[in-house]
């Protein structure tokens, strides 16, 4: 390690801490301060407002579906990327990172182009079959899945490549079939990476705004999620409710990060 003199060390610390404080800690803590400036009553009130409760329920439902879907596809795609060679593998790998670089608004518009009931490429025929995608939960789940797609894969892929396929081959030679090998050997080995990816996906899915706003139609009480209601309440001069919901979202995200922080050491041990 390069040694730096004590004043420089202190300066570097000050810059780092100051930057994070001004950008993250202070603004977020102000949300908490605003939420609780008249006691806990304002905060608890959001659980009695039917629109807010509906929005929270919808958010949890959409996030849960998105995480489950991404879990199944994420682990499958990771296995595909690490264990198999096929044409187009690099293209697939690059596409998976797309949601990280593309604005969620673009994702929302793109989904609209395909699935919109009136003008979409596929939408009208799906709607005729009795399925509502856009302005309903399927579209919102799809948008959320899209933005959270890389999180599990990018956690699992490095772990899978690091452990190699020795253990899987050993299991095969001991009589295990593909399914048994996956459940008994592969999954336990990547367990912590999967859990970490799920926590990150959950945090990301709960907080998704742009893509969901476009595909949901933002219909109060029906397709309005927690992030959308924060914006709506804020613009309707119901700041206290907006702050309370915002605080709840921030609190859940921080709780997720704390959980991850507790998981990380055990992850490294294993």
Partner 1 sequence: MSIDVTGLTKTYGDFVALDDVNVSLPTGQLTALLGPSGGGKSTLLRIIAGLDTADTGTVSIEGMDATRLPPQKRNVGFVFQHYAVFKHMTVAKNVAFGLEIRKRPKDEVAARVDELLKLVHLSQFAHRLPSQLSGGQRQRMALARALAVEPTVLLLDEPFGALDAKVRKELRDWLRRLHDEVAVTTVFVTHDQEEALEVADEIVVINEGRVEQVGSPDQLYDEPANDFVMGFLGEVTTLGGLTLRPHDIEVATSPYTAGAIEGSVHRMLRIGFEVRLSVLTVDGEDASVVLTRTHARSLGLVEGATVWLTPATGAAMVPSMQSSLAG
Contacting positions for partner 1 (CB under 8 A) = 163, 166-167, 169-177, 180, 184-185, 188-189, 191, 270
Cβ closer to partner 1: 182 or 209? 182
Rounded to an integer, what distance in angstroms lies between the CA atom of residue 14 and that of residue 28? 20
B/e letters for 231-242, b = 16+ CB within 10 Å, e = fewer, are bbbeeeebebbb
| Least CB distance to partner 1 at residue 176 (A) | 5
**Is residue 1 classed exposed, middle or buried when 0-12, 13-18 and 19+ CB atoms within 10 A define those classes?**
exposed
Question: Which of 171/212 has CB closer to partner 1?
Answer: 171
**Nearest to partner 1 of 103, 180 (CB atom):** 180
Least distance CB 72 / partner 1 (angstroms) = 22
Residue 185 beta carbon to partner 1: minimum distance, rounded to whole angstroms: 6
Smallest distance, Å, CB 147 to partner 1?
32
CA torsion 160-78-88-164 (nearest 10°) is: 20
* Residue closer to partner 1, measured from CB, 180 or 235: 180
Q: Please state the closest distance from residue 139 (CB atom) to partner 1, in A.
A: 40
Smallest distance from partner 1 to CB 172, Å: 4
DSSP code for 184: I
- Closer to partner 1 by CB, 49 or 165: give it: 165
Q: How far is it, in rounded angstroms, from Cα 97 to Cα 73?
A: 15
Residues 6+ apart with CB under 8 A from 75: 152, 156, 187, 190, 194
Give 75 or 134: the residue with its C-beta nearer to partner 1.
75
**Whole-angstrom distance, CA of residue 218 vs CA of residue 212:** 8
């Amino acid at each position: 390690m390069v040694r730096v003199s004590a004043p420089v060390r202190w300066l570097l610390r000050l810059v780092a801490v100051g930057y994070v404080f001004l950008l993250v800690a202070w603004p977020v803590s102000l949300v908490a301060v605003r939420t609780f400036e008249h006691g806990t009553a304002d905060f608890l009130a959001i659980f009695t407002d039917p629109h807010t409760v509906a929005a929270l329920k919808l958010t949890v439902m959409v996030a849960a579906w998105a995480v489950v879907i991404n879990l199944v596809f994420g682990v499958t795609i990771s296995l595909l990327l690490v264990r198999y060679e096929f044409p187009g593998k690099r293209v697939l790998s690059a596409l998976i990172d797309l949601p990280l670089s593309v604005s969620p608004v673009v994702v929302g518009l793109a989904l609209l182009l395909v699935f919109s009931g009136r003008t979409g490429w596929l939408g009208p025929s799906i709607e005729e079959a009795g399925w509502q995608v856009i302005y309903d939960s399927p579209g919102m789940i799809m948008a959320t899945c899209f933005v959270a797609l890389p999180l599990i894969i990018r956690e699992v892929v490095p772990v899978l490549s690091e452990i190699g396929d020795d253990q899987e081959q050993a299991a095969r030679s001991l009589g295990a079939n593909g399914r048994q090998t996956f459940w008994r050997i592969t999954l336990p080995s990547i367990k912590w990476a999967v859990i970490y990816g799920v926590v990150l996906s959950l945090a990301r899915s709960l907080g998704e705004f742009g893509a969901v706003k476009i595909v949901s139609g933002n219909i109060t009480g029906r397709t309005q999620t927690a992030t959308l209601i924060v914006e709506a309440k804020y613009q309707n001069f119901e700041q206290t409710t907006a702050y309370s919901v915002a605080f709840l979202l921030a609190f859940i995200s921080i709780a997720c990060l704390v959980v991850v922080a507790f998981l990380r050491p055990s992850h490294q041990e294993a």
